[in-house]
């Protein structure tokens, strides 16, 4: 079974300590929203991330599955 990557967009900045609490591969802040990229182990892990965001009062804007072309290269050394 292949791993799936997701992009989660939330309103405003992400609380500083939240990224340490959950499995987040990349966080990019844009002017009015934050983009989180993650590759959860399974659907339960993705739902756990979404629940964690909700519990912290973070407004969810969008969740979408990334295509293979959009997924970050794990061998990249950015």
| Domain residue limits, the chain | 6-65
Q: Which residues contact 46 (CB under 8 A, 6 or more apart)?
A: 6, 38, 40, 63
- Is domain 6-65 annotated with CATH 3.40.50.850? no
Total-model pTM: 0.63
Tokens linked to 64: 């979408």
6-57 per-position pLDDT tens digit: 888 988 887 777 767 677 777 777 778 889 999 998 999 999 999 999 999 9
Report CA Rg, the chain.
12
């Amino acid at each position: 079974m292949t791993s799936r990557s997701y992009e989660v967009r939330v309103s405003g900045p992400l609380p500083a300590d939240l990224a340490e609490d959950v499995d987040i591969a990349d966080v990019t802040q844009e002017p009015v929203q934050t983009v989180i990229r993650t590759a959860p182990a399974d659907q339960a892990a993705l739902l756990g991330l979404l629940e964690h965001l909700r519990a912290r009062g973070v407004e969810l804007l969008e969740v979408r599955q990334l295509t293979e072309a959009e997924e970050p290269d794990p061998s990249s050394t950015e």
